[in-house]
Amino acid sequence: MRIGIIGSGALGLYYGAMLQRSGQDLHFLLRRDYQAIQENGLHVFSCHGDFYLPQVASYLTPQEIGPVDLVIVGLKTISNHHLIELVRPLLGDNTAILTLQNGLGNEELLATAFGPERVLGGVAFLCSNRGEPGTVHHLGEGKILLGEFRGGSSQRSHNLAEMFQTAGVPCTAVSDLRRARWEKLVWNIPFNGLSALLEKDVTEILNHPPSKELVKKLMLEVIAGANAQKLETQIDALKFSQQLISFSEKMDHYRPSMMIDRIEGRALELEAIYAIPLQQAKTANVSMPLIEMLFTLLDCGEN
Amino acid sequence: MRIGIIGSGALGLYYGAMLQRSGQDLHFLLRRDYQAIQENGLHVFSCHGDFYLPQVASYLTPQEIGPVDLVIVGLKTISNHHLIELVRPLLGDNTAILTLQNGLGNEELLATAFGPERVLGGVAFLCSNRGEPGTVHHLGEGKILLGEFRGGSSQRSHNLAEMFQTAGVPCTAVSDLRRARWEKLVWNIPFNGLSALLEKDVTEILNHPPSKELVKKLMLEVIAGANAQKLETQIDALKFSQQLISFSEKMDHYRPSMMIDRIEGRALELEAIYAIPLQQAKTANVSMPLIEMLFTLLDCGEN
């Protein structure tokens, strides 16, 4: 399959490299890493085994890539004002678009511009970061849940899941993408925000009992917001929040992406992870006062 | 009047110097500034006119001071575990104790140790800081509201107010000390905490509309907590919060003490300004969820 990657950060480079290694025809839109990858290829340092791709199809503009069968979007949501113009040149009559970006609102943006029938979304549970230009580091996890923006099962979503599995990426097609997105927010909203605000990692936060209690309260607010979104099945608040906290307690000083963004002075993905979820909850008459306060504090720190 | 000052920081030094200049017999327990003041006296740089006290009675232990008529406490509340042992040597049969410390719980501590009849409290609206050893800077304001810990009017409280007035310190005796303390918390709880957490001054906070809205919500929570404390008259929530915000909007990039403490790596006065008010509100069946979150975030940053 001819696949274009828009947003070749740690996530786009890692999944793209995995797919290319499995025999797919990959085309990467690059910026920071263009020259290094053109000249020396792409090195993947992975907890599942390192590998090297000497030849990588690299481009500086999406026009050079041209139509593909599948666009995978890994762009940071803070650059979503460029998303449409970056994706448009890659579309043929039957091109599908799969966004693996954080938070909410990404599928909606693509669906409004290109029609909802083209759009799929995926929730990626991946720990990766970029190293020197031309390298990407895969630290752990990597599973993807993907589904149709319009909801329901489709042959296409099952085919894509199979393609990822063949490439060594655990992947499941889900019929309720909205639920998968909100489930990830139950983790992202407390841990990304608190870690960025306090510049403390997951372990440091959970080792402070009042903060652990605050994490729980924030999770319960997210789940209340989620359960008002017409999900196929409701999220069990107590069970799911307890599961996520137990899971997080096993992490060894993990630094969420938003914490790293704050420390390195980059803009935070506040729109996708806070503003849009707050708006969707409000529309469903659910108030999330503690999350609103967290969003305000993060946003105040952005200026 | 023979007066001992326990806690000769910016507040203790400034009010003590004003009282000594007006003819009172002052005795300062000193630590950082002992040698400089012993050798060279105390320089006061004040927006109301500088002055200099060449002779200042300075001591390194409270035992050397011995009994006085009035103890004025200016100690940071983070050192309250030393408060009783520092005050005890200064007490004679009729010694009064006036604490001008921040937050709640200070009068209770003194009353439990020495009897409630000895104890008065004052709320100081003072902008001051210390300079080089032997100097104190008075930047603005300075008013004191003081009253009996047991409540009600007393000749003693009116005499003390008159003593401060004679010394050039605006001072009023109030019959409801508890209300005065909570009124100050309506400002301190939002602005001290947010400025320390975000490392933003009052102007920067108010220039960010969602944060200004958060300040209002925090103020309304404090006022709800205050109004459950058997005050003589209730605080008018909308009017008082609006007044305080208008007053704060006229400040020019003022940095609350807690912000300076955080930046300079000193412990924050979280017990007196957050923990005890939260506890008193809870006892009165008032929940303050946003303040609790703010306290948690500040406390997490302390480790």
Q: Do A300 and B210 touch (CB under 8 A)?
A: yes
pLDDT of residue A140: 85
Does one domain contain both B54 and B39?
A: yes
Query: How many C-alpha atoms does A14 have within 13 Å on its Cβ side?
Result: 30
**Identified catalytic residue from B184, B217, B239, B282:** B184
pLDDT of residue B196: 98
Q: At what angle do helices A209-227 and A276-283 cross, to 10 degrees?
A: 50
Helix B276-283 to helix B177-198 angle (10° resolution) is: 130
Contact A210 B289 (CB under 8 A): no
Average pLDDT over residues A118-123: 98
- In the structure encoding, which two tokens stand for residue A12, read together? 């786009």
Q: What is the C-alpha to C-alpha distance for residues B167 and B187, in angstroms, rounded to an integer?
A: 27
Show which of residues 176-195 on chain B sit within 8 Å of chain A, judged by CB atoms: 194
Give the number of A-B residue pairs with CB atoms closer than 8 Å. 64
Domain boundary among A175, A208, A230: A175
Judged by CB atoms closer than 8 Å, whether chains meet at A214 and B303 is answered as no
C-beta separation of A12 from A72 below 8 A: yes
* Contact (CB, 8 A) for A138 and A152: no
Annotated catalytic residue: which of A143, A184, A230, A250?
A184
What confidence tier does A73 reach under pLDDT thresholds 50, 70, 90? very high
Q: How confident is the model at residue A129 (pLDDT cuts 50, 70, 90)?
A: confident
| C-beta atoms surrounding B289 within 10 Å | 13
Number of Cβ within a 10 Å radius of residue A84: 13
pLDDT tens string B273-303? 999 999 999 999 999 999 999 999 999 999 7
Contact A178, A277 (CB under 8 A): no
Kindly determine whether residue B296 and residue A210, on different chains, have CB atoms separated by under 8 Å.
Answer: yes
Which residue among A205, A290, A295 places its CB closest to the CB of B293? A290
Residue A127 pLDDT level (bands cut at 50, 70, 90): confident
Cβ atoms within 10 Å of A137's Cβ, excluding its own: 19
Task: Provide the residue range defining the domain that includes A256.
Answer: 179-300
Total domain count, chain A: 2
Same domain, B171 and B185: no
Which chain A residue has the Cα nearest residue B218? Answer: A293
Q: What's the pLDDT band for B141 if we cut at 50, 70, 90?
A: confident
**ipTM entry:** 0.91
> At which of A131, A155, A175 does a domain end?
A175
Q: What pLDDT shows up at residue A86?
A: 98
Contact A277, A266 (CB under 8 A): no
CATH code for the domain of B270: 1.10.1040.10
Phi-psi region of B25 (alpha: psi -120 to 50; beta: other; left: phi over 0): beta
To the nearest whole Å, the CA of B271 is away from the closest chain A CA by 14
Co-location of B112 and B197 in the same domain: no
pLDDT tops 80 at residue A303: no
Residue A129 shares a structural domain with residue A147: yes
Across chain B, what does the average pLDDT equal? Answer: 96
List pLDDT tens digits, range B254-264. Answer: 899 899 999 99
Report the pLDDT value the prediction gives residue B139, as an integer from 0 to 100.
87
Among partner residues A208, A296, A301, which is closest to B214 by beta-carbon distance? A296
Q: What is the dihedral of CA B161, B163, B169, B174, to 10 degrees?
A: 0
> Are A85 and A191 found together in one domain?
no
Give me the pLDDT at residue B211, please: 98
Write out the two tokens for B6: 């326990």
Chain A residues whose beta carbon lies within 8 Å of the beta carbon of residue B300? 194, 198, 200, 204-205, 208, 210-211
Q: Chain B contacts of A200, Cβ < 8 Å?
A: 300-301
Q: Are residues B106 and B224 in the same domain?
A: no
- Within this chain, do residues A168 and A22 fall inside the same structural domain, yes or no? yes
Q: Is the dihedral of CA A28, A33, A35, A40 positive or negative?
A: negative
Assess whether pLDDT exceeds 80 at residue B229.
Answer: yes
Distance CA A278, CA A301 (A): 19
A194 within 8 A of A248, measured Cβ to Cβ: no
CATH number of the domain to which B152 belongs: 3.40.50.720
Interface test with A, best of B296, B299, B303 (most A CBs within 10 A): B296
Of B151, B175, B199, the residue at which a domain comes to its end is B175
pLDDT of residue B218: 98
Q: DSSP readout, A83-128?
A: HHHHHGGGEEEEEEEEE--SSSSHHHHHHHHH-GGGEEEEEEEEEE
Residue found under tokens 């139950």: A186
Tell me the two tokens of residue A60.
């500086």
The answer on A123 and A69 residing in a single domain is yes
Could you tell me which residues come within 8 angstroms of residue B9 by beta carbon, excluding any fewer than 6 positions away? B74, B75, B76, B130
Please confirm, yes or no, whether A184 is among the known catalytic residues.
Answer: yes
- Return the structure tokens found at A69: 């069968």
CB of A70 within 8 A of CB of A160? Answer: yes
Q: What is the DSSP string of B79-137?
A: GGGGHHHHHGGGEEEEEEEEE--SSSSHHHHHHHHH-GGGEEEEEEEEEEEE-STTEEE
- Taking the C-alpha atoms of residue B56 and residue B43, their distance in angstroms, rounded to an integer, is 11
Say yes or no: A205 contacts chain B, CB-CB below 8 A: yes
> Distance between CA A293 and CA A262 in Å, rounded?
18
Give the list of residues 6+ apart from residue B8 with CB closer than 8 angstroms, or none.
Answer: B16, B28, B29, B30, B31, B33, B74
Q: What pLDDT, on the 0 to 100 scale, is given for residue B127?
A: 86
Q: pLDDT value at position B288? A: 98
Q: Are residues A76 and A44 in the same domain?
A: yes
DSSP-derived secondary structure for B198-267:
HT--HHHHHTSHHHHHHHHHHHHHHHHHHHTS--SS---HHHHHHHHHHHHHTSSS---HHHHHHHTTPP
Residues A161 and A206 in one domain: no
A158 shares a domain with A222: no
Residue-wise pLDDT tens digits, B51-101: 999 999 999 999 999 999 999 999 999 999 999 999 999 999 999 999 999
- Note whether B44 and B157 are same-domain residues: yes
